[in-house]
């Protein structure tokens, strides 16, 4: 019991130590300002998975807000899957949503840079004959040997993405143990392969039953999809990937420029 009370005090301290700055003269609603600052704290680790926010009355009193304003802010983050209300416990941080800019980088590197503690489970690492789709993407004859690499990527013990990559069999040696410790692109760079550009397509679809089990989502849940062919500095296709991501845990960021 004492251990539980200590944990609750520690969790409360995590929230109490946050600097929440609200601009009461701004046209931006106060609930939205609070939600944005809480979301930022979750994303940057100031509020970690398992931390409790305390009750709405205490938060409202501390910040000088009405209880409905606090409730609306919290509910918006519950709707995003960042917080969960637990009976007898309170409002608790579940996880942060992974946000990834569209550039030539690996998911492992992006998660590590964001402090998301990435973990990998290798499901397949073997040689097979290239299908027509894979052969076309890699620019090799159909039936040529390729490395098939299938992995489950997680953060804080929760699955985020199911990754399937195909590489020319002669490209490099991929050690399974090493792949569970680092990212594919890091291993490629270590082997002297310079990644230069990629063609990438982003889409969405519903999870199959098998994907639901793998990603801890119900069958039919929304998934983001990505297909990418990466090229080295000689223009050679060195990797073709087909990946699916939990839409509740993952977003892509775009920067759009206006043409003159």
Q: What is the mean pLDDT of residues 106-124?
A: 70
pLDDT tens-place string over residues 170-226: 999 999 999 988 888 889 888 998 888 888 888 889 999 999 999 989 999 989 898
Is the distance from CB of 176 to CB of 125 less than 8 angstroms? yes
**How does DSSP assign 146-164, residue by residue?**
EEEEEEEEEETTEEEEEEE
Element at 201 (helix H, strand E) = strand 195-206
- pLDDT of residue 141 exceeding 70: yes
Q: How confident is the model at residue 57 (pLDDT cuts 50, 70, 90)?
A: confident
State the Cα–Cα distance between residues 87 and 84, nearest whole angstrom: 10
CA–CA distance, 147 with 37 (Å, rounded to integer): 44
pLDDT value at position 102? 44
Q: Find the mean pLDDT for residues 145-171.
A: 91
Give me Rg for the CA atoms of the chain: 22
In this prediction, residue 209 carries a pLDDT of 93
Is pLDDT of 4 > 50? no
Chain segment 246-256, per-residue pLDDT in tens: 887 766 665 55
Q: Which letter does DSSP use for residue 17 in this model?
A: T
Domains and CATH numbers, the chain: 2-93 (1.10.10.10), 98-253 (3.40.1410.10)
* Sign of the C-alpha dihedral computed for residues 4, 9, 10 and 16 taken in this order: positive
The whole-number average pLDDT for the span 64-85 is 84
210-246 burial, b if ≥16 CB within 10 A, otherwise e? ebbebbebeeeeebbebebbbbbeeeebbbbbbbbbb
User: What is the reported pLDDT for 247?
Assistant: 82
Per this entry, what is the length of the chain? 260
Is the pLDDT score of 96 beyond 60? no
What is the CB neighbour count within 10 angstroms for residue 161? 25
Distance of alpha carbon 252 from the chain centroid: 9
Comparing 244 with 8, which gets the higher pLDDT?
Answer: 244
Q: What is the mean pLDDT of residues 13-22?
A: 74
């Amino acid at each position: 019991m004492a251990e539980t009370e200590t944990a609750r005090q520690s969790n409360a301290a995590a929230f109490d130590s946050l600097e929440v700055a609200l601009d009461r003269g701004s046209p931006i609603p106060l609930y939205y300002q609070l939600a944005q600052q809480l979301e930022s704290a979750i994303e940057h680790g100031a509020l970690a998975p398992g931390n409790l926010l305390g009750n709405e009355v205490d938060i409202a009193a501390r910040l000088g807000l009405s209880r409905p304003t606090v409730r609306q802010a919290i509910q918006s983050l519950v709707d995003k899957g960042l917080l969960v209300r637990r009976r007898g416990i309170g409002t608790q941080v579940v996880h942060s949503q992974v946000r990834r800019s569209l550039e030539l980088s690996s998911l492992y590197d992006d998660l590590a840079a964001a402090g998301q503690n990435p973990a990998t489970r290798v499901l397949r690492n073997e040689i097979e004959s290239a299908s027509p789709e894979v052969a076309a993407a890699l620019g090799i004859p159909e039936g040529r040997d390729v490395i098939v690499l299938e992995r489950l990527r997680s953060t804080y013990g929760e699955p985020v993405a199911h990754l399937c990559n195909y590489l020319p069999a002669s490209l490099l040696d991929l050690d399974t143990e090493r792949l569970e410790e680092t990212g594919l692109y890091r291993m490629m760079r270590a082997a002297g392969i310079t990644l230069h550009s990629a063609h990438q397509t982003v889409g969405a679809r519903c999870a199959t039953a098998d994907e639901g089990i793998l990603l801890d989502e119900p069958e039919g849940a929304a998934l983001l999809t990505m297909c990418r062919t990466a090229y080295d500095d000689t223009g050679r296709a060195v990797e073709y990937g087909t990946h699916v991501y939990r839409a509740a845990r993952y977003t892509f960021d775009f920067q759009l420029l206006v043409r003159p």
